[in-house]
Structure 1
């Protein structure tokens, strides 16, 4: 089984498995039937999102910043391990707002779900 990523605005496909929305805020115009579970604990915090959207930090910094937030949040850690265990039995697709060709934190979340031990490695 596998962990995949996709934009929430793309239609569900056979093989998506469990569709997990990993956004801080609910996406406009999206019905709850487009995903199976919403895990806001696996999204960057509001202040971090605002810094990035306002151009106060660049993608390179934003890409790794949620890792520190996740390490300090028991809900985030638990969610990563639950998705990791689920992905061993069936596919899991992580969903966010960004289009497929745009940078998005969901790719970093995928790395964590694939290898949760990364959470506890120094220098990350």
Structure 2
């Protein structure tokens, strides 16, 4: 099972492996609250800055980020972590519901069901 939640939310017993998937380390977060930091799976700086969590850019952001993921070798690493774990939680920092964690979960789940 893959969950998505803010890194600032309290850890729960069913989080499993907690993976931070943001390029930048979030302010005030202790390193022991994150099991793995996969900053290289996050959207490129260019895409992240362009999107800026603007809802009207959401669909185009999803498309562009999935394009980046298709050529990102870290996707294979992430899939291996997921296959070895009962539960995985993708952590993100933004308050916006429009974020890369949602897209990454959708993308990874589509690969796992093939």
Could you say whether these structures have the same fold, taking a TM-score greater than 0.5 normalized by the shorter chain as the test? yes
Aligned mates of 2:4, 2:20 — CA distance in 1: 10
**Structure 1 unaligned regions, length at least 5:** none
Runs of 4+, deviation exceeding 3 Å: none
Q: In structure 2, what is the equivalent of residue 82 of structure 1? A: 80
Matched residue pairs, number?
113
Secondary structure, in 3 states, of the residue corresponding to 2:62? helix
Q: Give the TM-score normalised by the residue count of structure 1.
A: 0.79
Secondary structure, in 3 states, of the residue corresponding to 1:19? strand
Backbone CA RMSD of aligned residues: 2.3
How far does residue 69 in structure 1 lie from its aligned partner after superposition?
1.0
Q: Give the TM-score normalised by the residue count of structure 2.
A: 0.85
The correspondence of residues 1-124 of structure 1 with structure 2, limited to 5 A, is 2-53=1-52, 58-75=57-74, 77-86=75-84, 89-99=85-95, 102-116=97-111
Aligned mates of 2:10, 2:72 — CA distance in 1: 31
Judged with a 3 Å threshold, the aligned counterparts in structure 2 of structure 1 residues 83 and 110 are, in CA distance, closer, same or farther, namely farther
Aligned mates of 2:60, 2:69 — CA distance in 1: 15
Q: CA offsets per residue over residues 91-114 of structure 1, 9 Å max, x none?
A: 000000123x62111112112332
